[in-house]
Amino acid sequence: MSQKTEPMGAESSTELSNHYLASLVVASAFVLILVFCGSWLLRNPLAAFHIEATGPVPLLFPWVLAAGQTIANGLTEFSGSSPEPVSYSIFTASFLSILFTGILTPTLTLLLMGKRRSAIARGLYLVCLIITVTLAITVLPTGYIAYRVRLSLREAQAVQTSRDHIIDELCAIAWRTREYQIVPKALGGGEGTLDGYTLPASLAETEDATYVLRRATQVADARSGPLVATIHASSRRYPGSEVEVSVGADGQFRSWTYTGQFQ
Name the pairing type of β-strands 49-51 and 55-57: antiparallel
Distance CA 168, CA 1 (A): 92
Whether 97 is in a domain gets the answer yes
The answer to whether residues 29 and 111 belong to one domain is: yes
- 212 falls within a domain: yes
> Looking at the structure, do residues 97 and 184 belong to the same domain, yes or no?
no
Position 13 in a domain: no
168-197, pLDDT tens digit by residue? 999 999 888 888 888 888 888 888 788 888
Q: How crowded is the C-beta side of 245, counted as CA atoms within 13 Å?
A: 18
What is the value of pTM for the model shown? 0.57
One-character DSSP codes across 157-198: HHHHHHHHHHHHHHHHHHHHHHHHHHS-GGGTS-TTS-TT--
Model pLDDT for residues 205-222, shown as the tens digit of each residue: 999 999 999 865 555 555
Residue 233 within a domain: yes
Measured over the CA atoms of residue 109, residue 111, residue 116 and residue 117, the dihedral's sign is negative
User: Within a 10 A sphere around the Cβ of 73, how many other Cβ atoms?
Assistant: 14
Residue span of the structural domain in which 59 resides? 18-116
Residue 194 main-chain phi, psi, to 5 deg: -110, 20
In order, the DSSP letters of 90-117 are HHHHHHHHHIIIIIIHHHHHHHHTTS--
Number of domains in the chain: 2
Please answer whether residues 208 and 162 qualify as being in contact, where contact means their C-beta atoms are separated by less than 8 angstroms.
yes
Mean pLDDT of 209-238: 76
Q: Based on the domain organization, do 174 and 107 belong to the same domain?
A: no
User: Per-residue pLDDT for 93 more than 50?
Assistant: yes
The side-by-side arrangement of strands in the sheet containing 209-221 is 209-221, 225-235, 242-248, 253-259
* 253 lies in the same domain as 188: yes
Last residue within a domain, chosen from 116, 137, 155: 116
Of 95, 116, 137, the residue that ends a domain is 116
Residue 143 pLDDT > 80: no
**52 lies in a domain?**
yes
Rounded distance, CA 243 to CA 48, Å?
46
In a domain, 138, yes or no: no
Does residue 4 form part of some domain?
A: no
> Both 105 and 177 in a single domain?
no
Q: How far apart are CA 55 and CA 48, in angstroms?
A: 10
Do residues 185 and 111 both lie within one domain? no
Instruction: Evaluate whether residue 56 is within a structural domain.
Output: yes
Query: What's the rounded Cα separation, in Å, for the pair 94 and 92?
Result: 5
Q: Is 64 left (phi over 0), alpha (psi -120 to 50) or beta?
A: alpha
Q: Report the C-alpha gap between 254 and 104 in whole angstroms.
A: 64
Q: Which of 98, 116, 134 is the last residue of a domain?
A: 116
Tell whether 177 and 102 lie within a shared domain.
no
Share of the chain above pLDDT 90, in %: 19
